[in-house]
Amino acid sequence: MANFDQVAGIYDFLKRVVFGNRIDDATSCFLKEIPPNARVLIIGGGTGEILKKFKSSHEITYLELSEAMILKAKTVVSTASVDFIQGDVLKWIPKHDFDYIMTPFVLDCFTATGLDLLLDRLKKSLKKEGKWIQTDFYPKNRMQKLLIKIMYVFFKLTANLNIDELVDFDSHFEKHQFNLKRKALFYHSMIESKIYHQID
């Protein structure tokens, strides 16, 4: 199982060296659409930078596998109510349903089989009118695909991440009865943030 504890201390530095602020921009670009008093589940939020941008009325469940990432996230000043949970999303049992689910740069850590399991489990915890905000890498050309391969090699060595290539996220969301509502592109269109809603 992957363990990002060793890279938690340098993660924010690395992402800014390679991508500038584009990862943070993409992760937060649709937050303005989340209404007051919404209940939000964030899977794999890392060091918690995104927590700075939530409103005080938001109720956040922050699920992260890495203990070191959780510890860093807890130091982030946020006006929102945040429940920090360290655990594996494929084993975790939600206590209630959510208005929004966010998966910022975490689905790239799953195989096709694992992603199917995740979508099947979490869909049951998303309210009927709820939305899923998915943000990740969608490489378009040879150089972007090479960068992804380099990143996978790095995280295999430092975090024991045994993934070799990105899953086709779009086809998996479609398979699990989600429709794309809107998307935004960042970093030469290599990064995409998307809002999905469930098909009735």
pLDDT, residue 110, reads 97
Q: Residue 62 pLDDT > 90, yes or no? A: yes
pLDDT, residue 21, reads 96
DSSP codes of every residue in 59-92: EEEEEES-HHHHHHHTTS--SSEEEEEES-TTT-
pLDDT, residue 75, reads 93
pLDDT, residue 78, reads 86
pTM for this predicted structure: 0.95
Q: Give the residue from 103, 99, 61, 102 showing the smallest Cα distance to 81.
A: 61
pLDDT, residue 199, reads 86
Distance of CA 131 to the CA centre of its chain: 14
pLDDT, residue 190, reads 98
Q: Could you tell me the CATH number of the domain that includes residue 110?
A: 3.40.50.150
φ/ψ (deg, to 5) at 36: -55, 150
CA terminus-to-terminus distance, the chain: 35
Cα→Cα distances 114→118, 154, 199, Å: 6, 21, 22
Structure token digits, residue 69: 């990432």
Per-residue pLDDT of 146-185, as tens digits, reads 999 999 999 999 999 999 999 999 999 999 999 999 999 9
pLDDT tier at 2, thresholds 50, 70, 90: confident
pLDDT tier at 37, thresholds 50, 70, 90: very high
58: containing domain: 5-198
User: Which residues have C-beta within 8 Å of that of residue 147, sequence separation ≥ 6?
Assistant: 18, 139, 190
Mean residue pLDDT across the chain:
96
What is the tally of structural domains in the chain?
Answer: 1
Per-residue pLDDT of 114-146, as tens digits, reads 999 999 999 999 999 999 999 999 999 999 999
